[in-house]
Amino acid sequence: MSTVVCPGSFDPLTLGHVDIVRRAARIFDEVIVCVAYNPRKKGMFEVGERVAIMEEEFKDLPNVSVDSFSGLLVDFCSQKNAVAVVKGIRSNEDYEYELPMAHVNKRLTGIDTIFLPTSPGLSFISSTLVKEVFAFGGDTSEFLPASVQQKLLEKK
Ligand code: PNS
Compute the mean pLDDT over every residue in the chain, rounded to the nearest whole number.
96
Confidence label for 18 from pLDDT (cuts 50, 70 and 90): very high
- The answer on pLDDT for 138 being more than 90 is yes
State pLDDT tens for residues 88-102. Answer: 999 999 999 999 999
CATH 3.40.50.11060 assigned to 3-155: no
Confidence label for 124 from pLDDT (cuts 50, 70 and 90): very high
Question: What are the residue ranges spanned by the domains of the chain?
Answer: 3-155
Q: Is the CB of 108 under 6 A from ligand 1?
A: no
Q: What is the pTM of this model?
A: 0.96
Instruction: Give exposure, 106-131, as e/b (b: 16+ Cβ within 10 Å).
Output: eeeeebebebbebeeebbebebeebb
Q: Is the CB of 16 under 6 A from ligand 1?
A: no
Q: Looking at ligand 1, which residue's alpha carbon is closest to its atom 5?
A: 8
Average pLDDT, integer, range 8-26: 98
Per-residue DSSP letter, 142: G
Average pLDDT, integer, range 53-67: 98
- Predicted local distance difference test score (pLDDT) of residue 116: 98
Q: Which residues are catalytic?
A: 17, 41, 90, 127
